[in-house]
Amino acid sequence: MGPRSGVTMLALLFSWAILAPWAALSTVPSTAPPAGPAAVGDGLQAGDPVPPLTDVTWIRGEPVSAFEPGTVYVVDMFGIWCSSCRGRIELLSTLADEYAASAEDTESAETKVVVIAVAIAPDRTGVTIDEFVDKHDDKIHFLVAEDRDDKTTKTYLDSAGREVQHDALIIDGEGRLAWTGLAGAIKDVLPQILDGSFDARGFAKARRARIAAWNKAYPETLKFNNASSRGDHDLAARLAKDIARSHESLEYYFVDEYTAYLRGDQGSKAKALGRRLMRRTLKDNRYALRSLAWKIVDPKARFDDELRDYDLAEQAATRAGELFEDEDPWILLTQAWLAIHRDENPQAQELLKQARPLAEDDKVVSKLIKRAERAASQED
């Protein structure tokens, strides 16, 4: 997404869903939150009371000014400029419909579930949240609020420790934090919280380990940024490898190691690492695979074209597509460039046609799609 330095951790936390986090590198879809200007704090812990949603403007549905006892709340913090966030509309609507139907179909007193999406950084694309909701109203079956002054974002994300891999919360029937993490995991975690099988102690322990790993790695991420910025690719590669090995939540730094090899003209090292990442290390990490594939095909990449491993990009994009439940514009864009490389321009044009509506509210991806469309329209 842009350089890591000079921006807030909060902004970077959400930029990872659509843009590249790596300093001095070309734009790519992010794999996970990059290092920010401050280390991660302890923040809100599992079991702590969650502050109410009192500093938001409600756009859709009845306002929730307090968390009612006996009701579980799913809160997704999203940006309308973020393609991955917009892709969660179906997930959140499905959850809202499922638990609304469950409450209506049973005579027993089941826990009520309320799904809320809170829009952050609403003016980033020039599209207002009101316009966004009106446009997608038939698909949105959950409550929507807008955080116009960042108070709620700071409360919910900063208070949750600005944690790695975090953009959603589940608040239990007592108004306490039950879980925080990536919104895509909600569908698996929520049933466990409702039936009492969720391992809260294990979750808290794993979260503390992630935070500890992030804090320990933080100085090294700064060194990595500096090495990348000044073109010391050997050092950048070594630092990225060490960071990636320090904890599983930081494995996306292996993609930085791969890119450092390419930028340092070490094609053989990049090829060996890429194959290992594809076979084992990142084979189930959809964001990292998506980023790996795009870094290879990105027409603005800062390395020799002869180092582009298109076979690896094809494998990574295909695997990432399998792992994403919905179509992703970055993957379609990557596959389009792969088709252009194979001189299969009609296929590229079809892929870009599919990608365009998925990126309609995302200026960055839309601009990249236009560039690919121009390339795909050229005669051989």
Three-class DSSP labels, 10-78: HHHHHHCCCCCCCCCCCCCCCCCCCCCCCCCCCCCCCCCECCCCCCCEEEECCCCCCCCCCEEEEEEEE
Do 185 and 210 share a domain, yes or no?
no
Task: Report the pLDDT averaged over residues 273-284.
Answer: 95
Report the mean per-residue pLDDT for the chain: 82
- Domain finish residue from 326, 343, 359: 326
Do 24 and 114 share a domain, yes or no?
no
| 4, pLDDT greater than 60 | no
Q: What pTM value is reported for the model? A: 0.75
Tell me which of 102-116, 265-279, 351-365 is least confident: 102-116
- The pLDDT tens digits for 189-212 are 999 999 999 998 898 888 888 878
Is residue 223 situated within a structural domain?
Answer: yes
Task: Report residue 42's pLDDT band, with 50, 70 and 90 as the boundaries.
Answer: low
- The pLDDT tens digits for 61-76 are 999 989 999 999 999 9
- Coil, strand or helix at 118: strand
What's the pLDDT at 32?
35
Do 216 and 169 share a domain, yes or no?
no
Say how far apart CA 312 and CA 309 lie, in whole Å. Answer: 5
Tell me which of 233-242, 245-254, 332-341 is least confident: 245-254
Do 72 and 185 share a domain, yes or no?
yes
What's the pLDDT at 207?
81
Percentage, residues of the chain above pLDDT 70: 81
Burial of 377 (C-beta count, 10 Å sphere; 0-12/13-18/19+) = exposed
For residue 193, give the H/E element and its range: helix 186-195
- Residue 132 belongs to domain with CATH number: 3.40.30.10
- If one counts the domains in the chain, the total is 2
Task: Report the pLDDT averaged over residues 318-332.
Answer: 89
- Domain finish residue from 198, 226, 259: 198
Q: How far is CA 280 from each of CA 49, 118, 179, 292, rounded to the nearest angstrom?
A: 40, 36, 28, 14
| 332, pLDDT greater than 90 | yes
| 19, pLDDT greater than 80 | no
DSSP secondary structure of 241-292 = HHHHHH-GGGTTHHHHHHHHHHHTT-HHHHHHHHHHIIIIITTT-HHHHHHH
What's the pLDDT at 104?
54
| Domain span including residue 102 | 57-198
Task: Report the pLDDT averaged over residues 268-287.
Answer: 94
Percentage, residues of the chain above pLDDT 90: 55
Q: How far is CA 312 from each of CA 26, 145, 292, 349, 366, rounded to the nearest angstrom?
A: 19, 41, 9, 22, 25
Is residue 130 situated within a structural domain?
Answer: yes
Q: How far is CA 281 from each of CA 102, 172, 284, 285, rounded to the nearest angstrom?
A: 39, 34, 8, 8
Q: Beta strand 71-78 with 112-119: parallel, antiparallel or unpaired?
A: parallel
| 13, pLDDT greater than 90 | no
Q: Which of 88-102, 126-140, 223-237, 352-366 has the highest mean pLDDT?
A: 223-237
Do 116 and 177 share a domain, yes or no?
yes
Residues 243/253, Cβ–Cβ less than 8 Å? yes
Q: How far is CA 170 from each of CA 1, 125, 147, 194, 355, rounded to the nearest angstrom?
A: 28, 28, 18, 11, 31
| Identity of residue 279 | R
What's the pLDDT at 213?
87
Is residue 2 situated within a structural domain?
Answer: no
Is residue 368 situated within a structural domain?
Answer: no
